[in-house]
Chains A and B, each alone.
Chain A
Amino acid sequence: MSTKSVKNSKIMNNNKNGILPDKIDRFEVRIAGAGGQGIISMGMLLAKAISLGDKKNASQSQSYGPEARGGATLADVIISDKTIYFPECITPDILIALTPGAYEYYAASVKPNGIIIADSNAVETVVGSVMTVEVPILKTCLDKFLNPIVANMVTLGFLTEFTGIVSKKSIKSAVEDRFEKSKFLESNLKALKAGFELGKKFKSEGLTQIEPGICLNL
């Protein structure tokens, strides 16, 4: 298997907009997982931070089943400089998959030069040849916080640091807004920070060469 360079070299440069192009026509982020993992609130916080904090247009839509916990859940965030009309992902630029089901189902829809960020437990068999980053999200939650409930915050932190599609300042403010006056604010901010650190670690490994399919797996 040959290696090829990462098309998203912007990940490694500290570009202001991260991997977002200078002129954003339409940038799609799909977050997929199970009900109860905080998928929709992750999407909401991301879109809110981009829209109100970073002053770009952003919309968030969702798809969920009848189950409050456990069903397949999807949050789509669209980012653009223009007015956003169709609010769902057609071919995601970034896919975040927190469950094996989510990875298996949506991995093939990602743009060829896109990125898949998957929980390390989510990838069982490789689908397609899109750059895939396996991140020990749930493991980090369990190791550091003894609680998988903050997985969405760790993911959000990782996404922010690793891709730069949203500014750290805005995402922090969005989380602070969300948990205003709540006793859960501190734990969520801690988890977000753990996500930032995880992102930094992945970036600093100097991974300029990756294999198609899964490669980034620390």
Chain B
Amino acid sequence: MHKLPEVYDYLRWRKRFPTVWCSGCGIGSITGAIIRVVRSLGFDKDNVTLISGIGCSSRIPIYVDFNTLHTTHGRALPFATGVKLVNPEMNVIVVSGDGDALAIGGNHFIHAARRNIGVTLILVNNSIYGMTGGQVAPTTPIDAIAHTAPYGNIDPPFDAVQLALSSGATFVARSTVYHIIQTENYLKKAFQHKGFALVEIISQCPVLFGRLNKMPDPVDMIMSQKENAVNLVKAKKMTEEELKGKIITGIFREDNSKVEYTESYAHLIQRVQNQNEF
């Protein structure tokens, strides 16, 4: 008999397929990874809230059987902050695209990291605005073509990992869709981490980014992730010239010494209430 895949139980019982994602897109693999990690950690579905903004990757919550909030463009993190503060026991996960988290939501990104609130941000980076039809993103490489950069992009791209590190995030990692096992390992660590966690996943958009930049075959794009990925340890020994165009993967920070935000608010409540008693 045909066996249903393990992720099946974690999709909404009123299944709505096909999804909005194009064939060859990396978001399907990421959705599967999220579900497998949640399952392996034994989280109660009721105790998981998946929050997203607007964009291709932000459609993940529509299909999965958790508490879900598909919110406005760029604002997933403040929504998540509200959920986490009201229910600190909740496992709050945010999925956000590169435009969502770094352009329109850039301010929320650095402030969520600064507060060290216990939310995991999965940043799906496909270097382009997919949902709106291939416009330039804050992560689009220099000289790449996009529909709003027809002569080549001149805006230097953001490095989300460096941004998170300098903003005070306590768990920061980067992986790719090709390295899906590694991605799952990082997600596992991130979901169990107490403070703000960022996992950037380099993904592929063959239909827009690929087609505009002479890489229309999804397999080629995934293979380029394999070829360009350099582990952090190895990267440290490489020169800047050698690292050009490479994707540095690995865990950049895992710091458990900082207090998580809802915990420090709980301490504040205790302090205030004790003061009032005397």
- Whether A and B touch (Cβ < 8 Å) is answered with no
Q: Which residues of A contact B (CB under 8 A)?
A: none
Q: Which residues of B contact A (CB under 8 A)?
A: none
